[in-house]
Every structure is written in C-alpha cells, then in structure tokens.
C-alpha cells in the first residue's frame, strides 16, 4: 500500500494517476460537480487533460450546461475513482478559463474528427435526430476540407485551482486512509482524517 508522506498534494496525485494508467483504461476520467443557478447539484464525467502547479484542466463547449453553471458559480469539485487500486481523490476549488494560446495548442492536438465534432455539436442543446448531427458533421467536414480546423470561438478549457485535495485509500475493515491537503495561501496544510 502506498503511504503519502509528501507535504504537498501534486506529487502523490501524479504518482497515483501514473499507477492508475496501468490498470484503468480511462484513468483520466473524473467526475465534475457544479451547481445550477438555483443551487441544485449537477455532475458528469469529463477528462483531465493537464495537471500542474496551477491546477487541473479540462475542455468543453463554453455554451454547454457545465460551462454555463461554472460561469454562474465558479466553485466546483472533481472526483477520481480508481477501483483497480481501491483509491479515490477528491478535489475542490475555483475554476478559471485557460488562455486562448493554451486552448489553441490543445485543440490542435485533438484528432481531426474531434475537432469537426466541436464545430458540429451545439452541446447540451436539444437535437431532433441523430441524422441532424451527422448532417452537421458532414457540413463542417466539407467546410474545412483539407485545411487545419481552427478552434471554435465557443470552445475552450477550464482550470480548477485546488483549495482542498483529499486522498482516500481503501483498507481492511473499513479503516481506510484519508489524507487531506488544504491550501493556506501559497502553502498546503496536511492532515489525516478518520475514515
């Protein structure tokens, strides 16, 4: 079992993520919790695309439900579950938009079909039929031809700046290990929690 001894959370997070990739096909999948404008919880899976000392980055259509909720209330939470390792990481913080250059650079690495899909989908809006989506994909494929597909102006990323990161490791008899890191200014306070 992995004992977390670090005084900051990013190194153990990277180590756990690297270990998860060996047994979990979607180790970068994370639940993203937001709230609706009237305070109702809303959760969905998104993919972690980058993690560094600035935070945890994911990308989306800025007109999607998740983005609308984040613009109304930038407080959000992430949760990673790696069942093959009996581990979970919970992260809470505030989101900010990534810069245009960062969003452009990431968008350029996406498969072409995913780039076309970003143009074709009015994410979270009602869709009359699958045929309509396929027609839009075809339309944008023809529009861009063999040219590079630019990032749509309504597509970008969010960075969750962590304020709390909790590591959970399953142990026998429900005597689990829970290590919590809380940001205090530029430093992290580390404490163990009862299971």
- Residues labelled as active-site residues: 174
177-184 and 155-169 strand pairing:
antiparallel
Q: In this structure, are residues 159 and 54 in contact, taking their beta carbons and an 8 Å threshold?
A: yes
Locate 29 and state its tokens. Answer: 């999948």
Cα–Cα distance between 27 and 183 in angstroms, integer?
Answer: 25
DSSP element (H, E) containing 150:
none
**Dist. CA 99–CA 173, nearest whole Å:** 46
Tokens of residue 174, six digits: 């429900």
The number of beta carbons lying within 10 Å of the beta carbon of residue 72 is 12
Q: Which residues contact 104 (CB under 8 A, 6 or more apart)?
A: 151
């Amino acid at each position: 079992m992995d004992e977390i001894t670090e005084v900051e959370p990013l190194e153990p997070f990277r180590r756990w993520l690297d270990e998860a990739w060996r047994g979990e096909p979607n180790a970068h999948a994370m639940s993203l919790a937001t709230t609706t404008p009237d305070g109702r919880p809303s959760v969905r899976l998104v993919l972690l695309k980058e993690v560094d000392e600035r935070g945890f980055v994911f990308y989306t259509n800025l007109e999607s439900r998740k983005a609308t909720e984040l613009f109304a209330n930038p407080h959000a939470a992430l949760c990673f579950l790696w069942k093959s390792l009996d581990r979970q990481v919970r992260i809470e913080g505030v989101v900010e938009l990534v810069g245009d250059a960062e969003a452009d650079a990431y968008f350029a690495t996406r498969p072409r079909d995913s780039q076309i899909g970003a143009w074709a989908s009015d994410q979270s809006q009602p869709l009359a039929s699958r045929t309509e989506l396929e027609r839009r994909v075809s339309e944008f494929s023809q529009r861009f031809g063999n040219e590079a597909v630019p990032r749509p102006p309504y597509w970008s990323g969010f960075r969750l700046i962590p304020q709390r990161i909790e590591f959970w490791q399953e142990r026998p008899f429900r005597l689990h290990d829970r290590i919590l890191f809380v940001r205090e200014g530029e430093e992290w306070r580390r404490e163990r929690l009862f299971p």
